[in-house]
Amino acid sequence: MIQVFDLVAAECAKQEIYVLLDNHISKGMWCCSGDDGNTFWGDTYFNTANWVRGLTYMANHVSHRPSPFSCPQESNPPRQNPGPP
């Protein structure tokens, strides 16, 4: 799968297209409600440690690329998670 990403990212660089890596949801499903388990750090389907591991891997993986990359995390209000991470 990473090879496909690399091919797409390389073509984007050629076309001067900005690549945005976004973990919009952690469990493949329709989003974004306050009770879907994907709304905030530590929710049912949002494992913070896994997210940090994946973000670190991808940041290192793309660090040599000439085109700009961004790796944000869209966070919604913590309706399921009662406190900060």
Q: Which residues pair with 20 in a beta bridge?
A: 70
**From CA 83, how far away is CA 66, in angstroms rounded?**
39
Q: How many CB atoms lie within 10 A of CB 82?
A: 8
**From CA 44, how far away is CA 35, in angstroms rounded?**
9
Distance of CA 79 to the CA centre of its chain: 20
Q: Is 25 helix (H, G, I), strand (E, B) or coil?
A: coil
To the question of pTM greater than 0.75 for the whole model, the response is: no
Per-residue model confidence as pLDDT tens for the chain (85 residues): 889 989 988 898 888 888 887 776 777 777 777 777 776 677 788 788 888 898 888 888 888 776 666 655 555 555 555 555 5
